[in-house]
Amino acid sequence: MKALIFEKFGGPEVLQYKDIPEPTISENEILIRMKTIGLNFADIYRRKGNYHLAGKPPYILGYEGAGIVEKLGAGITTIKVGDRIAFADVPFANAELVAVPVEKAIPLPDDISYETASSILLQGLTAHYLTKDSFEVKAGQTILVHAAAGGVGQILIQIAKIVGAQVIGLTSTMDKSKAAYLAGADHVFLYNDNWIEKVKSVTNDNGVDVVYDSVGSTLLESFEAAKVGGTVVFYGMAGGDPAPVDPRMLMDTSKTLTGGDLWNVLTSFEERKERSNQLFDWIMEGQLKIQDPTIFSLHDGSKAHTLLESRKSIGKILLKP
């Protein structure tokens, strides 16, 4: 089979499109022929060597995608060949064929396309636990979303609006601010435009209830934008590592710092199914809208990585075998 692999850490140029052996499935796995694959910042971190990778080269990136069941393990009775399946946390997805543990296989409703599934699951499940578990957003609250035009950012905005919160978004360009407004943000400010003062100005100088920070290098500024007793949820480092946080500041302002990692939430098939079905229901009801993704051939994976790493993309980037 063909796969996008790399043998050493580095920039997008280390990625190669090559023939490698097909995966062998165990009795509790299914073999999926991939239709679409989601590209995420975690793939960039791993390609650079910033995230741990098990095994030895050649490495295969990718954790999210959707496709058709081609083969079943001997012990599987709940899924059949030809079923449409998606997943959000299965490695080696940058390939034509992927071995998926049955407990991580998410059945796709007929009304959810492969493209939609690969655009929504990882970011959507992330936004779901961020707004339900890390900090439960409620009607009447005001939230601040970093990277508001990104995949998670746009979904965070929409979920917050579904529950009745006010949303302020932060973006790097005017084009991206338009995407955040289209997602439902009440206000959108640019990073280079005194955004802390602007956030304070629309919250009567109080600050916001919660800041969702996926940039990392902005963490201390996020605390400035949070109200006394507010919360900052740190869940990504797209802009670089965060500076250390002074516990005395947390005590003096009664503010909270919490982190989030999706893998600590998706601990069972039922968790995956329940949370995914909530996202699918919102999509089918028209409450959650997914922007058309940018699609690259898997063969052109290095170009897709370059675009995502540039932070110039809006919405999801997909790879197609």
Mean pLDDT of 16-23: 96
Would you tell me the crossing angle of helices 269-284 and 151-163 to the nearest 10 degrees?
80
Q: What is the pLDDT of residue 291?
A: 83
- Tell me how many domains the chain contains: 2
> Do residues 145 and 245 share a domain?
yes
Cα gap 88→62, rounded to integer Å: 9
CATH number at residue 112: 3.90.180.10
Q: What is the pLDDT of residue 72?
A: 96
Q: What is the pLDDT of residue 99?
A: 98
- Domain of residue 246 covers 139-259
Assign 42 a pLDDT band (cuts: 50, 70, 90). confident
pTM beyond 0.85: yes
Q: What is the pLDDT of residue 260?
A: 86
Q: What is the pLDDT of residue 64?
A: 97
Residue 129: inside a domain: no
Assign 174 a pLDDT band (cuts: 50, 70, 90). very high
Residue 194: inside a domain: yes
Residue 134: inside a domain: no
Q: What is the pLDDT of residue 212?
A: 98
Q: How far is CA 251 from CA 229, 246, 254, 258, in A?
A: 10, 9, 5, 14
Residue 132: inside a domain: no
237, 259, 281 - which closes a domain: 259
Q: What is the pLDDT of residue 216?
A: 94
Residue 152 one-letter amino acid: V
Nearest to 257 by CA among 235, 232, 236, 226: 232
The b-or-e profile of 174-188 (16+ CB within 10 A means b, else e) is eebbebbbebbbebb
Q: What is the pLDDT of residue 155?
A: 95
> Do residues 163 and 115 share a domain?
no
Mean pLDDT of 293-313: 93
Q: What is the pLDDT of residue 250?
A: 98
Q: How high does pLDDT run on average in the chain?
A: 95
> Do residues 113 and 27 share a domain?
yes
> Do residues 187 and 240 share a domain?
yes
> What does the pLDDT look like over 207-264, one tens digit per residue?
999 999 999 999 999 999 999 999 999 998 888 889 999 999 999 999 999 998 888 9
Q: What is the pLDDT of residue 24?
A: 95
> Do residues 169 and 91 share a domain?
no
Residue 131: inside a domain: no
Q: How far is CA 116 from CA 111, 126, 192, 306, in A?
A: 10, 16, 33, 22
> Do residues 89 and 166 share a domain?
no
Residue 130: inside a domain: no
- In this model, does residue 284 exceed pLDDT 80? yes
> What does the pLDDT look like over 137-170, one tens digit per residue?
999 999 999 999 988 999 999 999 999 999 999 9
208, 236, 259 - which closes a domain: 259
Residue 138: both structure tokens together: 């409620």
